[in-house]
Structure 1
Amino acid sequence: MLVRRNDARVAVCLAACLWWAAGAQAAPRLVQADGFATQNGGVTGGGDAKSVTVATPDELRAAIAGDEPAVIVVQGQLDAGGVRVGSNKTLLGADSKSGLSGGTVRVDGRNCIFQNLVFGPARGDVFEVSGGQNVFITRCEFFGSSDELCSIVRGADFVTVSWCKFHFPDPDSHSFPHLIGNSDSRTSDRGKLRVTMHHNWYDAGCRSRMPRVRFGRVHLYNNYYACHGNNYCIGTGVESRIRVERSVFDDVNRPWNDMGGMDRKAEIGWRDLEFIGCQQPTYAPNRWPVFETPYDYQPDELADVKTLVTDERHGAGNKPPRP
């Protein structure tokens, strides 16, 4: 359901602006969840639990363990290795440099929020929603993996990824942002993998999989693809349903590409896209709208997408929302 912009969208916290102007000394106020993460009961993370600040990997592991509600403020860049985040957690960065590195951050529970964090570099996936449900990831930066930056797999469902920046400082042939659905034979993913991705920035070094989708129902809007020299951006895999709108493809190769899906019931539909130095693919018919969204959403105008997403102060990445 498409709705017009309203005051609630533009009224973002003064606290976030002060956080940035003051050198990011206090964590910003939480962004309101949207997209598929709001379905199936929604996402509240740690809710009203008293926040705890963690400054060491051991403190982090203790705070994210178990399924009791917790609000965790990450202070600094913690080389935590691989960690599992329990259900009902909110993780916030204390400043524009705070985050986790060194291994995969894995979410296999439910009801988790991640905001204003830098993830990476890491061995393997940087971040993986592995069977998790109702996960909201916003205002984060992902970089430097030997696999994917942010995968959504193994029956994960009701996930939103918004206002995030993805890049690879030292890219290789396996520099991929997202895998949604990890196997053509995993038919148990049918009816799951419902994901919204909006206002994300795919920058230098991203090769493919932005995302590559199997079985999932994925809504992409207001994203900016500027990964020059890539292979392809969006991959249509087996039984994928992909809805793309008001996004910009800036001097990229193959804005979308068949990854074995078109002979296996894949559908992609699009409207209001901009192609700069590249062309709209012709291998698949436009099946717009592909599916109806069960949530309201408020896309920005196509002409504003690049400016908004790449804005130095309030664009995609570990930055406060725009006022």
Structure 2
Amino acid sequence: MKTKLILLALLVPCSFLFSQNYCMSNPEGFGAAATGGGNAVPVTVTNLADLTAKLKLKTPQVILVSGTINCSYTSLAVNDKTIIGLPGARLVNLDQTAVGSGILSLKSGSNNIIIRNLIFEGPGSYDVDGHDNLTSEATNIWVDHCEFQDGMDGNFDNKGDADNVTISWCKFTYLKTPKSGGTGGADDHRFSNLIGSSKTDAPADGHYSITFKNCYWAKGCKQRMPRVRNAEIHILNCLYNTSESGSVAIGLGGGTKNSTCYVEGSDFVNVDKVFKEYTSTDGGEVGIAFDHCRKSPMDFGTKVNKPSYAYTTIPLGKVEEFVSNTSCGAGATLQVSSTGLINANCTNKI
């Protein structure tokens, strides 16, 4: 359900250059209803105890993260919160045990969350059924300009009750050598983004509604970019540039509710296999459509309609240049002042 957006004018007065894409004042796509902490007075945290305490508050909060916070796995319900990383802000957990791995899990019941400009750093992939850098069962969530590095089980997964999600200008990468010999069976588990943990896993309305906009699957990503069940997915102006042998970008299984994926204006510049279907293991039906993409295969399965919501685009010919830009592209590249003011002084022009 769409609700009236509250413009975060106090916190995100982005410049006019490239403002509709690089630095958005509010989310586009399935997560467009997310308003987070709204116009609450920003507070700055520098350690895990303070961050956790602010996330647990019942009132709307705008939380600024400063510096590197060494994390232990934290799972909690979060509502009406905006989390913004100041330049260089990083959440780190290098624990490579099944129980201790992972950074943040947004439990079922979480709602209305914005996370921007943070680096999530894990210990490297190791298949022992551990935790992800970020796991979400939240509804109405916008994750923007974050970088996810070396998640042990994955970088950023959505499962359970997760729904109405926009993931924009995020970078996913694996920089550490994967650890083999895990109990899960995969010696190289650099599997970035899972949607739906099983063929029966689905939110209340039956479909995970998730938009990936201007995202970048970069060095080290092996599979799950994303891997999907029971979902309707829109992949818009995204970049795939991973040189890993045997890499698979989009994996689509029908599950119990069927799945669709509309891929638009995206560049598969370097990936071994763009699409793989998993109906033999997941059941159901799938449909994927490629609209003005580079190096994409043919459409497959059932007919997929273009999303009906309003959104902005960049030309296909500019996707690689803009999305991979190290100062004005995907990842934690926003310029944020000490008071939470976000400005985009980028020279990219459409």
TM-score by length of 2: 0.77
- Choose from 279, 282, 305 the match for 2:319: 305
- Choose from 152, 157, 165 the match for 1:159: 165
Alpha-carbon distance in 2 for matches of 1:16, 1:179:
34
How much does 1:263 deviate?
5.8
The answer to whether structure 1 residue 234 and structure 2 residue 254 are counterparts is no
* 8 Å contact from structure 2 (residues 169, 323) kept in 1: yes
Alpha-carbon distance in 1 for matches of 2:149, 2:291:
29
* 8 Å contact from structure 1 (residues 181, 189) kept in 2: no
Partner of 2:132: 125
Alpha-carbon distance in 2 for matches of 1:14, 1:186:
41
Q: How do 1:103-118 and structure 2 match up within 5 A?
A: 103-108=102-107, 109-118=110-119
- Choose from 33, 45, 58 the match for 1:67: 58
How much does 1:118 deviate?
0.4
Q: Which structure features the higher share of helix residues?
A: 1
Spell out, residue by residue over 1:158-178, the C-alpha distance to the aligned partner (whole angstroms, 9 max, x if none).
000010110001243111111
SS in 1 for 2:52: helix
* 8 Å contact from structure 2 (residues 84, 115) kept in 1: yes
* 8 Å contact from structure 1 (residues 189, 215) kept in 2: no
CA RMSD of aligned residues (A): 2.4
Alpha-carbon distance in 1 for matches of 2:69, 2:194:
25
Alpha-carbon distance in 2 for matches of 1:228, 1:31:
34
- The one-letter amino acid paired with 1:118 is I
- The one-letter amino acid paired with 2:260 is R
SS in 1 for 2:320: helix
- Choose from 216, 239, 250 the match for 1:224: 239
Runs of 4+ in 1 over 6 A off after TM superposition: none
Q: How do 1:254-293 and structure 2 match up within 5 A?
A: 254-260=273-279, 264-275=284-295, 280-281=296-297, 285=300, 290-293=304-307
* 8 Å contact from structure 1 (residues 200, 223) kept in 2: yes
Alpha-carbon distance in 2 for matches of 1:73, 1:268:
38
- Choose from 191, 194, 198 the match for 1:179: 194
How much does 1:98 deviate?
0.2
Partner of 2:72: 81
* 8 Å contact from structure 2 (residues 285, 301) kept in 1: no
Alpha-carbon distance in 1 for matches of 2:113, 2:17:
21
* 8 Å contact from structure 1 (residues 257, 281) kept in 2: no
Spell out, residue by residue over 1:228-286, the C-alpha distance to the aligned partner (whole angstroms, 9 max, x if none).
124200001122111101001112111011123696211111110111xxxx445x636
- Gapped runs of 5+ residues in structure 1? 1-10, 18-28
* 8 Å contact from structure 1 (residues 120, 126) kept in 2: yes
Change in CA separation of 1:302 and 1:266 when aligned onto 2, cut-off 3 Å: same
SS in 1 for 2:243: coil
How much does 1:47 deviate?
0.7
Partner of 2:230: 215
Change in CA separation of 1:187 and 1:195 when aligned onto 2, cut-off 3 Å: closer
Change in CA separation of 1:57 and 1:310 when aligned onto 2, cut-off 3 Å: same
- The one-letter amino acid paired with 1:32 is N
How much does 1:304 deviate?
0.5
How much does 1:291 deviate?
3.0
* 8 Å contact from structure 1 (residues 139, 316) kept in 2: yes
How much does 1:191 deviate?
2.7
Change in CA separation of 1:263 and 1:128 when aligned onto 2, cut-off 3 Å: closer
Spell out, residue by residue over 1:175-224, the C-alpha distance to the aligned partner (whole angstroms, 9 max, x if none).
11110111013366653310000111111110000001100110001000
Partner of 1:4: none
* 8 Å contact from structure 1 (residues 217, 240) kept in 2: yes
- Bigger drift between 80-89 and 203-212 goes to 80-89
* 8 Å contact from structure 1 (residues 30, 115) kept in 2: no
Alpha-carbon distance in 2 for matches of 1:16, 1:77:
30
Change in CA separation of 1:187 and 1:319 when aligned onto 2, cut-off 3 Å: closer
- Choose from 243, 261, 264 the match for 1:245: 264
* 8 Å contact from structure 2 (residues 285, 302) kept in 1: no
Change in CA separation of 1:195 and 1:48 when aligned onto 2, cut-off 3 Å: same
Alpha-carbon distance in 1 for matches of 2:92, 2:164:
25
- Bigger drift between 83-92 and 159-168 goes to 83-92
- Choose from 128, 138, 141 the match for 2:144: 138
- Gapped runs of 5+ residues in structure 2? 1-11, 94-101, 124-129, 179-187, 335-343
- The one-letter amino acid paired with 1:319 is T
Partner of 1:147: 153
Alpha-carbon distance in 2 for matches of 1:61, 1:114:
14
